[in-house]
Amino acid sequence: MVVGLVGMLPIALGMIIFGDSGQSTSPSTYIQDAEAKVAKNPKSIAALVTLAAQYKNAGRNKDAEDTLKRAADIGPKNITDLRLLFGGYASDTAKQTEIISAFTKSHPNNADGWMLAGTTSSAAGDVLGARLAYQRVIAIAGAGSTLGQSAKAGIDQLATQTPGQIVPTTPTTP
């Protein structure tokens, strides 16, 4: 039952976001809608990332890259924008690292940003960077907070790593 509901979630979200007029909508319509949202608010990270995704879905990879770059150049103003940019650069750890570095410099007391910096550093095999970021989370949020406890768990996981060693977060199959 739960598996069925989870499988329906993307469909339901798509219907909420894009509507369900009972008609098939072409990718160009989605692109036009996303372009209109960017035209209304050209500095909206959400609008730009959505447009980039629509371009990518339509096979317009150069347009998608350029649009994501525009969003990255604006820079995230909050953790929501940061996570949206991370989603846009899901396969580019180097770009994610660059974005999180800029975010933590401009938002030094944002514990969520530092937590994301820790997980990004850990995934990139930067044990020292991850440890420092997790320690910063604990200093900002407090060791007893939920975020602080998550950071402590991250530090504990790092204890099994050596600098430069990447520990996969999901099991790999041969």
Kindly state whether residue 172 falls inside one of the protein's structural domains. no
Confidence band for 2, pLDDT divided at 50, 70 and 90:
very low
Q: Is residue 47 part of a domain?
A: yes
Q: Are residues 99 and 65 in the same domain?
A: no
> Which residues constitute the domain of residue 104?
93-163
What amino acid is encoded at 59 in this protein? G
- What distance in Å separates the CA atoms of residue 118 and residue 108, rounded to the nearest whole number? 14
Amino acid letter for position 22 = G
pLDDT tens, position by position, 110-163:
999 999 999 999 988 899 999 999 999 999 999 999 999 999 999 999 988 765
Residue 6 forms part of a structural domain = no
CA angle 100–103–107, rounded 5-degree value: 140
Number of domains in the chain: 2
Domain CATH code at residue 118: 1.25.40
pLDDT in tens, 27-82: 788 889 999 999 999 999 999 999 999 999 999 999 999 999 999 999 999 999 99
Mark whether 108 and 142 lie in a shared domain: yes
DSSP for residue 76: -
Listed residues 19, 45, 74: the one ending a domain = 74
Evaluate whether residue 14 is within a structural domain. Answer: no
Considering the domain architecture, whether residues 100 and 70 belong to the same structural domain is answered as no
**Are 56 and 98 members of one domain?**
no
Any residues with CB less than 8 A from the CB of 104 and at least 6 apart, and which?
A: 110, 113, 114, 117, 133, 136
